């Protein structure tokens, strides 16, 4: 299902700006998604992920910059483009008196048809009862309705806004299977998340945004230097020489117990070193996006292209975990 | 008692959220009664005229069915009790229904109920606080009604009886709602149950008042009327309402204990596993979403039309020939009956406009609930989505207005036996469709420009209603009257039909809707 117009990039966003009143939601955002890849769109809450997606869907009009889907303008060629994509919002709202099955079929038909067999298979995979009315679904089940509708459609691109936020771990795994299958059929995926681990499972490449601009983009291996894993281990004997290892930070040794953070690049070496003292128990926590931001960028937004003047106004937002408005709040 | 812990705090919290809407309900209720008292005095300046009208009213079974048993109709108090009593009790019932629903099932449905319950302490605090708020609201409403009537100069005992009747009816239907919200999982279904109970109570007393008297005693609205306000009051029917309130409250508490939070006692009906053929376009969806309320409005307007129509030819006797009724009803040259039906048609069109504005505002509600975003992310264009919504409002208005005309003709025919007027009365409200569409267009333009101001649609309707009903009385300047699209349309059957103005106003309506859709196309969607 390659695009016929010879485009290699399904999504191209360049220097996108969007403000809601005084709130700057997007402040020079760049994003490129190649055909056939699963692209993670990462950033803390309020960074502008949903706003970007809504510009790409032609729901919001950008103030400046360009956004291209399949090489076309999402604001002007909305309907033609929407035949080729399916979208799952972060917070799915259903009509209280329409059943899940009715909503799935409605969305399928409005997109121009859905694969009946795949629909039934997906209902089974996600253990979703299609006869329940919208008002009686839980958050996770509402999300499943939207996921089944999107995954059953015959489209080239999936745009998913925090698609797993209401799913339990089993359903999350089934969701990942579905995305993998979709990719095997030749489709491309843009998936936003604020959890790095989720992106690691699925994504070929990720873009990390903060305060409306792109701060990093590349494969997760490329970004590995940004991340640290925290390790907590109980050993057979008190360790020695740990402090001398490359990439180890904040080391705490208490008898045979050891805690430290290690640059993910050097995780293997650190574990090998621990192994020499006999590991009894080992807990390691994968790096989170928030920690990464705190460590790597401190309080300030790293300017994307080396201009050191902008970006002071939003300091401190990561600490509270509920940063400024992600655009939509202004409409409430 | 720790089952009730936190009730007081919740009551204060509810009252803080509700004080304004409670004030509106109470002011509305007082106006309903007080305006009857004032207008009776103005319409019938002499006792002789009131006597004539009272005889005509009491002899018209349609009137008795509509309002209640005819007692002491040749007194101002008797007129107020008769004309406002049943409707005041319904108003109190509706107020209680919405109060209970809002603080119980609606909270549970939204998930806020769980949050409140986790803090509030007592298991019954939520239910009890809603009941206390309803009690306070109905006592205040009853006191305001009684006080305002006594202040007007009516006898104290009768004024008190009317206030008590309204408050008790409110409490009974509050109790019905309290039971209903235990039964159903959704708030709309609970409102449906209470609505049916209100309708049944009204119809039972209607049937009882014109026929078998026992039926009136089965109706909570009938109990209030059996107190005979201003016609030799009797107080013991209070015990019937009081007993009903206690039984309903106990039943609600028992059901509440038996069910899980968030669930209803009745199982929710499952929907179809896949969509029918209708649900495959923006139009199909819009029809499906508005079907229920359209049917409700059409029935309501049919009923309202029946009510006006059933006045038949008694209108001359009823209205007397005071200056006020001349001002309101007589449009130069036409007969009293024709003028009256022209005004009725206008009233019906104004009520039907309520459907039109509410329907036009559905688009805004859909957007606010974030259900538009995923729809517009499919191949459904904004233009098609908006056009489907507006089309359902416009065609729905035709159905609702037509239903009112059918009611008018049917009511008149049934009471007078003259079916020759059917065509004239049936079509009398139709010219106003153009103005109703203008209100749809006005609402759409506001919504297209900025959803948060879209509710000015209601202001537009309010303005039209004031201009059409009171402009002559309040001596509005001509240019103000001409802002209302209704002003420009022929008042059939008092005036003869003229196509020109209808076409012009329709063109304005289409332009307004189109401008709204274009504005929507250009703005951000939430």
CATH 3.30.70.260 for the A228-285 domain, yes or no: yes
| Amino acid A287: pLDDT | 67
Residue B275 maps to a domain: no
Residue B277 maps to a domain: no
Phi then psi dihedrals of residue A34, to 5 deg:
-80, 155
Same domain, B77 and B128: yes
Same domain, B24 and B123: yes
Same domain, B292 and B177: no
Same domain, B289 and B185: no
Mean pLDDT of the region A57-68: 95
pLDDT one-digit tens code per residue, B107-164: 887 777 777 777 656 888 888 999 999 999 999 999 999 999 999 999 999 999 999 9
Q: Show the tokens assigned to B308.
A: 């006006």
- Name the strands in the sheet holding A85-88, side by side, starting at the edge strand that comes first in the sequence: A85-88, A157-161, A188-193, A38-42, A205-210, A213-218
pLDDT at A299 over 60: no
The predicted model scores a pTM of 0.78
| Amino acid A96: pLDDT | 87
Torsion over CA of B270, B275, B276 and B280, rounded to 10 degrees? 150
**A60 and B525: CB-CB below 8 Å?**
yes
Out of A136-140, B51-55, B308-312, least confident range: B308-312
> CB–CB of A100/A147 below 8 Å?
no
| Amino acid A331: pLDDT | 34
> CB–CB of B264/B182 below 8 Å?
yes
**A136 and B109: CB-CB below 8 Å?**
no
Q: Show the tokens assigned to A20.
A: 């809601």
pLDDT one-digit tens code per residue, B471-520: 777 788 999 999 999 999 998 888 889 999 999 999 999 999 999 999 99
pLDDT one-digit tens code per residue, B328-383: 555 556 677 888 888 889 999 999 999 999 999 999 999 999 999 999 999 999 99
Confidence of residue A164 (pLDDT cuts 50, 70, 90): confident
Look at A304 and B179; give whichever has higher pLDDT.
Answer: B179
- Expressed as residue numbers, the domain containing B364 is 282-522
Same domain, B143 and B62: yes
Nearest-Cα distance to chain A for B14, in Å, is 22
Same domain, B197 and B237: yes
| Amino acid B479: pLDDT | 92
Superfamily name with CATH number, domain A9-219: P-loop containing nucleotide triphosphate hydrolases (3.40.50.300)
- Name the strands in the sheet holding A64-69, side by side, starting at the edge strand that comes first in the sequence: A23-34, A9-20, A64-69
Q: Is the confidence metric ipTM above 0.90 for this complex?
A: no
CA distance B237 to B215: 15
| Amino acid A316: pLDDT | 34
Same domain, B314 and B246: no
pLDDT at B303 over 60: yes
pLDDT one-digit tens code per residue, B412-468: 998 888 898 899 999 999 999 999 999 999 999 999 999 999 999 999 999 999 898
pLDDT at A39 over 80: yes
Look at A327 and B239; give whichever has higher pLDDT.
Answer: B239
**B280 and A132: CB-CB below 8 Å?**
no
pLDDT one-digit tens code per residue, B420-434: 889 999 999 999 999
| Amino acid A229: pLDDT | 84
Segments of chain A assigned to CATH 3.40.50.300: 9-219
**B282 and A110: CB-CB below 8 Å?**
yes
Average pLDDT score, chain B: 90
pLDDT at A12 over 90: yes
Confidence of residue A307 (pLDDT cuts 50, 70, 90): very low
**B273 and A99: CB-CB below 8 Å?**
yes
pLDDT at A327 over 50: no
Mean pLDDT of the region A87-96: 92
Same domain, B245 and B300: no
Average pLDDT score, chain A: 84
Look at A287 and B43; give whichever has higher pLDDT.
Answer: B43
pLDDT at A309 over 50: no
pLDDT at A94 over 60: yes
Q: Which of B275, B292, B525 is the best mutation test for A, with the most CBs of A within 10 A? A: B275
Q: Give how many domains chain B has, as a whole number.
A: 2
Nearest-Cα distance to chain B for A12, in Å, is 18
**A79 and B381: CB-CB below 8 Å?**
yes
pLDDT one-digit tens code per residue, A240-298: 888 888 888 889 999 899 999 888 788 888 989 999 999 999 998 876 666 666 666 65
pLDDT at A305 over 90: no
* pLDDT over 90 percentage in chain B: 65
Residue B270 maps to a domain: no
Q: What share of chain A is helix, strand, coil (3-state, %, to 5)?
A: 35, 30, 35
Look at B340 and A128; give whichever has higher pLDDT.
Answer: A128
- Type and span of the H or E element at A259: strand A257-263
Which three-class secondary structure string do you get for B3-58?
Answer: HHCCHHHHHHHHHHHHHHHHHHHHHHHHHHHHHHHHHHHHHCCCHHHHHHHHHHHH
Segments of chain A assigned to CATH 3.30.70.260: 228-285
Give the nearest chain B residue to A132 (CA atoms): B270
Same domain, B190 and B49: yes
- Using a CB-CB cut-off of 8 Å, the residues of chain A touching B524 are 59-61, 331
Look at B364 and B60; give whichever has higher pLDDT.
Answer: B364
| Amino acid B340: pLDDT | 83
Residue B271 maps to a domain: no
Confidence of residue A321 (pLDDT cuts 50, 70, 90): very low
Same domain, B254 and B286: no
| Amino acid A4: pLDDT | 45
| Amino acid A310: pLDDT | 36
Same domain, B248 and B384: no
Same domain, B315 and B244: no
Nearest-Cα distance to chain B for A200, in Å, is 27
| Amino acid B325: pLDDT | 54
Confidence of residue A306 (pLDDT cuts 50, 70, 90): very low
Residue appearing with tokens 């999402």: A74
């Amino acid at each position: 299902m390659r695009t016929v117009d010879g485009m290699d990039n399904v999504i191209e966003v360049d220097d996108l700006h969007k403000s809601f009143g005084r709130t700057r939601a997007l402040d020079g955002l760049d994003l490129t998604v190649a055909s056939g890849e699963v692209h993670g769109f990462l950033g803390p809450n309020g960074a502008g992920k949903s706003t970007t997606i809504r510009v790409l869907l032609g729901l919001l009009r950008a103030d400046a910059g360009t956004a291209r889907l399949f090489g076309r303008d999402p604001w002007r060629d909305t309907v033609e483009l929407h035949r080729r994509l399916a979208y799952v919002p972060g917070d799915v709202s259903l009509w209280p008196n329409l059943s899940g099955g009715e909503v799935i079929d409605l969305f399928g038909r409005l997109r121009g048809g859905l694969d009946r067999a795949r629909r039934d298979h997906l209902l089974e995979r996600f253990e979703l009862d299609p006869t329940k009315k919208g008002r009686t679904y839980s958050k996770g089940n509402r999300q499943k309705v939207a996921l089944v509708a999107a995954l059953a459609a015959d489209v080239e691109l999936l745009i998913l806004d925090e698609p797993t936020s209401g799913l339990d771990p089993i359903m999350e795994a089934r969701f990942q299977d579905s995305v993998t299958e979709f990719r095997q059929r030749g489709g491309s995926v843009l998936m936003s998340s604020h959890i790095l681990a989720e992106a690691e499972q699925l994504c070929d490449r990720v873009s990390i945004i903060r305060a409306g601009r792109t701060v990093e983009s590349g494969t997760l291996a490329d970004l590995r230097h940004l991340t640290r894993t925290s390790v907590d281990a109980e050993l057979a004997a008190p360790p020695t020489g740990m402090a001398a290892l490359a990439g180890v930070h904040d080391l705490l040794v208490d008898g045979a117990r050891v805690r430290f953070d290690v640059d993910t690049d050097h995780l293997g070496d650190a574990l090998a070193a621990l192994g020499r003292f006999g590991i009894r128990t080992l807990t390691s926590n994968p790096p989170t996006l928030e920690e990464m931001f705190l460590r790597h960028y401190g309080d300030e937004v790293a300017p994307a292209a080396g201009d050191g003047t902008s970006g002071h106004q939003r300091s401190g937002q990561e600490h509270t975990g509920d940063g400024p408005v992600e655009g939509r709040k202004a409409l409430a | 008692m720790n089952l009730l812990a936190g009730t007081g705090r919740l009551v204060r919290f509810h009252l803080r959220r509700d004080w304004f809407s409670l004030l509106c309900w109470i002011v509305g209720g007082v106006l309903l009664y007080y305006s009857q008292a004032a207008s009776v005095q103005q319409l019938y300046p002499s006792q002789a005229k009131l006597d004539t009208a009272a005889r005509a009213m009491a002899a018209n079974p349609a009137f008795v069915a509509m309002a209640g048993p005819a007692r002491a109709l040749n007194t101002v108090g008797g007129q107020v009790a008769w004309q406002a009593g049943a409707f005041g009790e319904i108003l109190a019932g509706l107020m209680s229904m919405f109060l209970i629903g809002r603080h119980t099932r609606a909270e549970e449905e939204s998930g806020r109920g769980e949050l409140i319950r986790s803090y509030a302490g007592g298991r019954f605090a939520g239910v009890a606080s809603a009941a206390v708020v309803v009690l306070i609201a109905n006592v205040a409403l009853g006191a305001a009604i009684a006080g305002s009537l006594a202040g007007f100069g009516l006898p104290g005992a009768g004024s008190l009886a009317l206030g008590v009747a309204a408050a008790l009816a409110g409490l009974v239907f509050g109790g019905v709602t309290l039971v209903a919200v235990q039964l159903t999982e959704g708030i709309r279904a609970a409102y449906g149950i209470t609505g049916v109970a209100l309708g049944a109570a009204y119809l039972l007393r209607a049937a009882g008042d014109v026929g078998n008297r026992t039926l009136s005693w089965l109706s909570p609205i009938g109990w209030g009327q059996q107190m005979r306000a201003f016609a030799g009051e009797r107080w013991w029917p209070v015990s019937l309402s009081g007993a009903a309130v206690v039984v309903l409250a106990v039943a609600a508490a028992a059901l509440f204990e038996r069910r899980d939070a968030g669930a209803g006692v009745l199982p929710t009906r499952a929907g179809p596993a896949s969509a029918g053929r209708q649900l495959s376009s923006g139009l199909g969806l819009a029809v499906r979403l508005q079907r229920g309320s359209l049917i409700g409005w059409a029935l309501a307007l049919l009923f309202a039309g029946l009510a006006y129509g059933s006045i038949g030819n008694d209108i001359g006797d009823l209205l007397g020939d005071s200056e006020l009724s001349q001002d309101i009803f007589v449009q130069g040259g036409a007969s009293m009956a024709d003028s009256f039906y022209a005004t009725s048609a206008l009233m019906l069109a104004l009520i039907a406009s309520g459907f039109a504005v509410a329907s036009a505002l559905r688009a805004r509600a859909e957007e606010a609930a974030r259900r538009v975003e995923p729809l517009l992310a499919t191949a459904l264009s904004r233009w098609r989505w908006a056009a489907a919504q507006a089309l359902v409002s416009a065609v729905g208005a035709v159905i609702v207005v037509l239903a009112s005309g059918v009611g008018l003709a049917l009511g008149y025919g049934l009471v007078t036996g003259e079916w020759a007027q059917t065509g004239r009365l049936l079509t009398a409200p139709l010219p106003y469709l153009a103005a109703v569409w203008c209100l749809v267009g006005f609402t759409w333009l506001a919504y297209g420009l900025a959803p948060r101001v879209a509710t000015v649609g209601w202001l537009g309707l309010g303005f039209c209603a004031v201009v059409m009903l009171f402009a002559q009385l309040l001596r509005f300047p001509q240019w103000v009257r001409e802002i209302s699209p209704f002003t420009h349309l022929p008042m059939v059957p008092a005036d003869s039909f003229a196509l020109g103005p209808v076409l012009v106003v329709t063109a304005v309506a289409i332009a307004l809707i189109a401008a709204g859709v274009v504005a929507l196309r250009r703005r951000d969607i939430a």
